[in-house]
Structure 1
Amino acid sequence: MPDLWMPGAEIHDIGDHAPTDGGPPKGIAHITWDRNATAQKPADWVPFDDLVSYFTSSGGRPTAPHIVWDPFSGRIAQLYPADSRSKSVMDLPGGTRTNRAGAVVIQIEAVFFPFCRKDGTVYPRLVDTPCAGWDRLRAWVASWGVPDVWPMGVPVDFTPHRDEHTWETAAGWYAHGHVPENDHTDPGSWPAFGNTPTTPTEPTNEPPQPARYRTTINGLEYGYGAHGDQVTAVGEALVRAGYGGHYQQGPGPDWTDADTLNYRAYQQGLGYTGADADGVPGETSLRQLLGYLPGTRTVSLAHVVAAARTDPGAEQGHQTYGSEARIVEQALADEGLLDGQWVDGSFGTRTLNAYAAWQRRLGYAGRDADGVPGRSSLVRLGQAHGFAVTD
């Protein structure tokens, strides 16, 4: 069994241990962000011991992580054993249990905030620091089965990217900005995993030149020669995930060798090898990259609102806009909010209640969670389940 307490860490056991729920093992990357600073107004770095004292006090324990890490000196303090949940992400009642959603959910707080000043030098990003101690910290997390991959992309800025399905089903590292039910967007950057694999891998058998064939996913083409908005969406997502190194210009709507090479690097980052990492998307990797599958299905907001206001009071099974209601119902069923037998094209009471549950999952309440779709909630459902929203 791996070490519950990281070798070499300073142990500050704060008690209150509790089990995780099982499932894909995860690491969560945070920065303490204990001060706000800018390039014009940097602020002095807050000492490591101050943050350890805070998280071990009554005020800090409710949000304490497993690990507090000083990226300048390499000092590491551990507050919880690896097999316990910690408390650094928000966990809403009735949702996915974010602090427990894995065989382990090891949370790391780097003592850092953007534009902190230490010993006269200003550090805009965590990766600009020495990142001392990262290799041994990564190796210990990996010993608990957490693979060196970012299922929702390498954090390169403070843009959030959350997808509950990916969170619940994919092992690997997640930024705080990836965790469902949370509104934080840190860490902004994180050190690379290096060249040491956590488990033996097969030879990559990379092709001598980029693959030049196309595949069709959900009615849209990908691969060399493909054209369309879906190609641009993939390219932009690759750049956000840190896999845009082969672009000389772009990305754009025409799939070129650069897209293939970037996508191949992304597939390898997910752990794929050989023919599974040839740079042409598969459905699983594409959904992980984008958080949804682009498609040609569309839903009119006006139509589903009309259905939501009409169908519940009409006779059983009445369909105001049946085909579009059915798309929404199937998405709600895929979210686990509606029984499959009610995917029938009638936006009746059960569908209304299921949509209200979806709104509450997104954080809406009161009149904003009455089951009648609004643009924002419908767009987010479409992004997760592959349909576009029109007026």
Structure 2
Amino acid sequence: MAKSGPQTYPGASLSHWYQNAYAGDAMETNTIVWHSTEGTSLPTYSGGAIAPNLTAVPNWGKKRLDWYQHFGFDTSARALVNRAGGVETNTLNVCQVEIVGTCDPATHKRWGSTPHLYMPELPDWAIRDLAAFARWAHDEHGVPLSSGVTFKAYPASYGSNGVRMNGGEWMAFSGHCGHQHVPENDHGDPGALPMAAILAAAGKSSNSSGGSSSSGSSSTAQPKVSLAHVVAAARKDPSAPQGHVTYRAEVLVVEHALAAEGLLSSKYVDGSFGTRSISAYARWQRSTAGGGYTGTAADGIPGSASLKRLGARHGFTVTP
């Protein structure tokens, strides 16, 4: 298969290039699979035997991600399990990116003051540089700036997690997903990666630090959620017949964010702001990230401040 477009990400180091030892298969990539390394430095990947296409390493002094490339963009990497007799994983038109850091809250706590990236709480500069890569992959290779899957928080994202694709879904997928979504695998990384925020940032600009491209001009607008609409849904949907939806599209944005926070099971992400969504939102309101509200201020009915906090973490804008 002929490869099209540039095969190395601008600025990426080739000091840990493994394609000479493991040739891989030629592909036309349409999917990015995101991983977290669960470490604080560039892994050895057993000499390339289990390496992804690229690794993003935090540079704390310069507040940027330093990129290392191990295989060409359109060459299959080796970081996914691929079981005999099942669907293809590594070779199914996917580029794999490992982010040095952790998605595990227990590891995050144990590492304490040691500088590290924690996937649910990435700094702005990390989101910026991940978005720059996503934009480059879109502009140069046509990888959609979309996801459509829920990034569940670890450890709920491990194993049979309710968001892992089956073979047919995997073969039809294009865009951005995580290791936790790939069939035949059980890993839960990269946990609650703020994918919506990364893709929203990628849609805003085609020229960010860590790589640039001017060959594409399309953009992805940040989703908008009306506070009045989701409040109306939260007041009406729970008492309505099962499955009733008031403002499905906007409620789905909120529910995906709650699921990514580990507060709502993916099976209840259905666009209906029912009792499960009310309970999940109340837990968000009580959380530190959601504002630390108590009593009637944490009743599960969205308020402006808590909804804006959720939007800031998951890439949507709140309107009146």
TM-score (norm 1): 0.47
Q: CA 1:257–1:221 in structure 2 vs 1: closer, same or farther (change >3 Å)?
A: farther
Higher relative contact order (CA 8 A, sep 6+): 2
- For 2:244, what is the secondary structure of its paired residue? strand
Residue 162 of structure 1 corresponds to: 164
Measure, in 2, the Cα distance between the counterparts of 1:120 and 1:235: 33
Q: CA 1:235–1:252 in structure 2 vs 1: closer, same or farther (change >3 Å)?
A: farther
Residue 332 of structure 1 corresponds to: none
Residue 13 of structure 1 corresponds to: 17
- For 2:90, what is the secondary structure of its paired residue? coil
Aligned 1:284-323 pairs, distance under 5 A: none
Q: CA 1:17–1:135 in structure 2 vs 1: closer, same or farther (change >3 Å)?
A: same
Measure, in 2, the Cα distance between the counterparts of 1:81 and 1:189: 27
Per-residue deviation at 1:167?
Answer: 1.8
Which of 28, 34, 38 is matched with 1:33 structurally? 38
Per-residue deviation at 1:117?
Answer: 4.2
- For 1:240, what is the secondary structure of its paired residue? helix
Per-residue deviation at 1:203?
Answer: 11
- 1:192-230 Cα deviation digits (max 9, x unpaired): 32334272469999999649999xxxx97431299xxxx
Tell me if structure 1 keeps the 8 A contact 2:278–2:301.
Answer: no
Measure, in 1, the Cα distance between the counterparts of 2:255 and 2:227: 26
Q: CA 1:85–1:76 in structure 2 vs 1: closer, same or farther (change >3 Å)?
A: same
Give unmatched runs, 5+ long, in structure 1: 35-44, 227-231, 270-391
Tell me if structure 2 keeps the 8 A contact 1:71–1:133.
Answer: no
Aligned 1:151-230 pairs, distance under 5 A: 151-158=148-155, 159=157, 160=161, 161-164=163-166, 165-191=168-194, 192-193=197-198, 194-197=200-203, 199-200=218-219, 210=229, 221-224=243-246
Per-residue deviation at 1:80?
Answer: 0.5
TM-score (norm 2): 0.57
Per-residue deviation at 1:156?
Answer: 3.7
The number of aligned residues is 229
Per-residue deviation at 1:178?
Answer: 0.7
Amino acid at match of 2:244: Y
Larger Rg: 1
Amino acid at match of 1:162: R
Matching of residue 139 in structure 1 with residue 117 in structure 2 = no
Which of 121, 132, 137 is matched with 1:127 structurally? 121
- For 1:223, what is the secondary structure of its paired residue? coil
Tell me if structure 2 keeps the 8 A contact 1:20–1:101.
Answer: no
Which of 76, 83, 94 is matched with 1:92 structurally? 83
Tell me if structure 2 keeps the 8 A contact 1:68–1:76.
Answer: yes
Measure, in 2, the Cα distance between the counterparts of 1:204 and 1:233: 11
Measure, in 2, the Cα distance between the counterparts of 1:75 and 1:225: 42
Q: CA 1:233–1:74 in structure 2 vs 1: closer, same or farther (change >3 Å)?
A: closer
Residue 56 of structure 2 corresponds to: 69
Per-residue deviation at 1:3?
Answer: 1.7
Identical-residue share of aligned pairs (%): 19
